[in-house]
Amino acid sequence: MQVNETGLEGPLLLSPAVHRDERGFFLESYNARAFNEAVGREVVFVQDNHSASTKGVLRGLHYQNPRPQGKLVRVTAGEMWDVVVDLRRTSPTFGRWFGTVLSAENRLQLWIPEGFAHGFLTLSDIAEVQYKTTDYWVRDAERCIAWNDADIGIAWPLAGGPILSDRDRSGSALRDAVLFA
């Protein structure tokens, strides 16, 4: 597994080794020992999630506080623009974002530690996203920051307006968000 920095303190872009031959390919999508070594601490995942979205759907920027979740995200079908935002007030990268294309073709994975908001935009006709979380989903801890908050300034690769849920349409501004210490 190749580990790449993102420019933010904590998130990592992971590229698993892909073994190909005339039959197809094999990759190890998760190995606790290798993953923990890459992130520099023991991480325990408690839940796996799988979602599908059509082209132009933008989900996020989501996080939980209290009960933050670390996430290991990958795309198993299609392509998406994946974004994380640092919400840790004391972090040197507070309020900054990182974005990258995750796809079934590039097989990249994004490690998002606790204390970050996460969102994505579907670029292909359909994209399937699978991710592991370090804590369970808790409705009362669920938070959303506006995807187009000018103080964050994410450069979404949009050709028009995104398709949003009511929740994502009414996300709060970073300045009004429930942040992490």
Q: Tens digit of pLDDT for each residue in 3-24?
A: 999 999 999 999 999 999 999 9
The pLDDT mean for the chain works out to: 97
Helix (H, G, I), strand (E, B) or coil at 168: helix
Query: Is residue 158 a part of any domain in this protein?
Result: yes
CB atoms within 10 A of CB 31: 12
* Predicted structure pTM score: 0.95
pLDDT number for residue 70: 98
Identify the domain containing residue 38 by its residue range.
2-176
Q: How many domains does the chain have?
A: 1
Q: Show the tokens assigned to 82.
A: 């994946």
pLDDT digits (tens, 9 = 90+) for 63-107: 999 999 999 999 999 999 999 999 999 999 999 999 999 999 999
Active site includes 131?
yes
List 19, 62, 118, 136, catalytic entry: 62
Query: Is residue 141 a part of any domain in this protein?
Result: yes
pLDDT digits (tens, 9 = 90+) for 112-122: 999 999 999 99
Query: Is residue 181 a part of any domain in this protein?
Result: no
Q: What is the DSSP letter of 140?
A: G
Query: Is residue 24 a part of any domain in this protein?
Result: yes
List 30, 50, 63, 131, catalytic entry: 131
pLDDT number for residue 159: 87
Q: Per-residue b/e over 92-120, b at no fewer than 16 CB within 10 Å?
A: ebbbbbbbbebbeeebbbbbbbbbbbbbb
Active site includes 118?
no
Query: Is residue 79 a part of any domain in this protein?
Result: yes
Residue 87 maps to which CATH number?
2.60.120.10
- Say how far apart CA 122 and CA 74 lie, in whole Å: 13
Mean pLDDT along residues 19-37: 95
- Say how far apart CA 82 and CA 18 lie, in whole Å: 21
Per-residue confidence band for 54, with pLDDT thresholds at 50, 70 and 90 = very high
